[in-house]
Structure 1
């Protein structure tokens, strides 16, 4: 499973970073940066929550 981020859609709300700071950062431009595209099995539930929490649907799992 991989995380995909649509940086053009991201508005920098930071919900993903708040929920999973080891995988997401909001950069100086106010858009999401993936620290890792791969999702460990132990983190799948947390990552799904972070993806679902994005108010502009800039994140998805593949």
Structure 2
């Protein structure tokens, strides 16, 4: 699993940081920074929640083979 962000979409709401604080940080008045782009499988549920609850849909999970995991697979 790999986490990617579209910084053009990110508005710094920090929902991702609330859901997965070991993976994401959002500086005050900033945009998300990914702390661990390839988090361990133990954090998968937290990362999936972060992706799901991102109000601007700026986050995406891709598998290590670079094929995108679709929105339907994430829900």
Write the deviation string for residues 7-56 of structure 1: whole angstroms up to 9, x where unpaired.
11100110001111111111245200000100211111111011101010
Q: TM-score, normalised by structure 2?
A: 0.76
* Structure 1 position 3 matched with structure 2 position 3: yes
**Residue segments in structure 2 that go unaligned for 5+ positions in a row:** 63-75
CA distance in 1, matches of 2:7, 2:27: 11
Name which structure has the greater RCO, CA cutoff 8 Å, separation 6+.
Answer: 1
Structure 1 residue runs of 4+, over 3 Å off? none
Greater Rg by CA: 2
Q: RMSD in angstroms over aligned alpha carbons?
A: 1.1
* Structure 1 position 61 matched with structure 2 position 66: no
SS at match of 1:3: strand
Q: TM-score, normalised by structure 1?
A: 0.91
Counterpart in 2 of 1:38? 38
**For this pair of structures, how many residues does the alignment match?**
62
